[in-house]
Amino acid sequence: MSSRLPLRIPQSVEEIDTAWLTQAIRSSGLVEAANVVGFRAGSPGTGVGFQGQTIRISLDWDIEEPDAPDAVLVKFPTDNVGNRGLAEAEGAYDREFDFYERLSDDFPVRVPRLIHAVRDPGLSRAARRRREGFVDALPVPVVKFIGRHARKLVRPSKRRYALVMEYIPDARVTTAIELPPAEDLSAILGTLAEMHAHFWGDSRLADDSVFEWSMVSQMPNVMHGVYRAWRDDVVDREPGVFTDDLMRHADWVGAHIVDLVAHLNQPFSIRHGDCRTDNMLFTDAGLVMIDFGVTGSGRPAGDVAYLLSESIPPGFEARATFLRFCREYHDRLVAAGVVDHPLDEFMNDCDIVLAVQAYRVILMEAAFEADYDGESLAHLWGPRVRSLLADELPRF
């Protein structure tokens, strides 16, 4: 199979033109005869994420058609070479395409409408699994070497990806720097319960031909190679963030990484995977979920504890607040019809996920170039995660 389609796929705002926008929007059936004759790029597109670029494009049309959009969102991969290589290694761009093309029509929560999706072919599932299995089974010293030099060794492909999505105007969002009010967290947790219940036990989530992506990592030993290679350097660099309590939980995850990944990857339901408050849009018509580049199947605590780990202010009451919100979610899940996921099992899963979040803070600091308005993501997230951790390690 050719590695590139014989057509133009822009990969930056500079490569977009009116002809491509016209063709992309016509492919959705929103317009028939109208042509884009002008456009303006604006925020969020000054926004460059860790894994991608999202650009709002305001459109001028030559004639009026009732469904012609005033604006669209266009998404491309990040131009940060190191981040892109790491993102592709976990299938980040293909995950979002697969979600919109295969599952979004049967999604119980509003998501932006897919207008146009085009990507160059990649490896077949079988070939990708063979490659992942080979790399993940390399000897520990080799995997640790890969981890130490991951940003240089894990090179991005030359594949091109472009998504054109519905633009949601007048939406309110809470960023990672801010802390959402309790009513926002309750609304998100209720939406997650609705989503998880809708897909609970769905056979499609265990069917590679429909949705092949699991959660946490496709290659846990390689992920742990990054951790092993950078752990001590990161702790020495930022002892105020990577405290003994945080590292006790992170090291516990490292000691059980393969089994923990298999546990959290069990396909109970679909997971958003990057369940931050800035991936939840609040509108007058209700909540809209965006950004499905880390979507997969797994245990629901992965979304719930992930969300709460960035959203509860550090302090004496943080752990109690975390437990209250976890129970609130579980009550909503049961009310939505899921009766085979006991509360104690779910709560223990939430503590496992918090430990995984402690582990991930190390990886963020070590491998990703990631910040919010110049503020290190590890500095933001580390203290919040630490304040939620239980005194005892989770059961496993």
- pLDDT at residue 209 greater than cutoff 80: no
- pLDDT at residue 51 greater than cutoff 90: no
Q: What is the three-class DSSP state of 391? A: coil
Distances 57 to 4, 18, 133, 324 between C-alpha atoms, Å: 26, 11, 41, 41
| Predicted pLDDT of residue 372 | 59
| Predicted pLDDT of residue 245 | 94
> 12 vs 213, which has greater pLDDT?
12
Mean pLDDT for 138-162 is 85
User: What share of the chain has pLDDT > 90, as a percent?
Assistant: 60
CB of 272 within 8 A of CB of 262? no
Take residue 175 and report the two structure tokens written for it: 């960023």
CA nearest to 108, candidates 286, 258, 255: 286
Alpha carbon 115 to its chain's center:
21
Mean pLDDT for 286-294 is 92
Cα separation, 245 vs 319, in Å, equals 14
> 127 vs 63, which has greater pLDDT?
63
User: What share of the chain has pLDDT > 70, as a percent?
Assistant: 95
In tens, the pLDDT along 364-383 reads 888 766 555 556 777 888 99
CA nearest to 182, candidates 334, 307, 335: 307
| Predicted pLDDT of residue 44 | 62
Cα separation, 60 vs 309, in Å, equals 42
The end-to-end CA distance of the chain, in Å, is 44
> What global pTM score does this model have?
0.91
Cα separation, 252 vs 249, in Å, equals 5
Take residue 108 and report the two structure tokens written for it: 């119980």
> 55 vs 151, which has greater pLDDT?
55
- The residue whose two tokens read 């009550």 is 331
CB of 305 within 8 A of CB of 357? yes
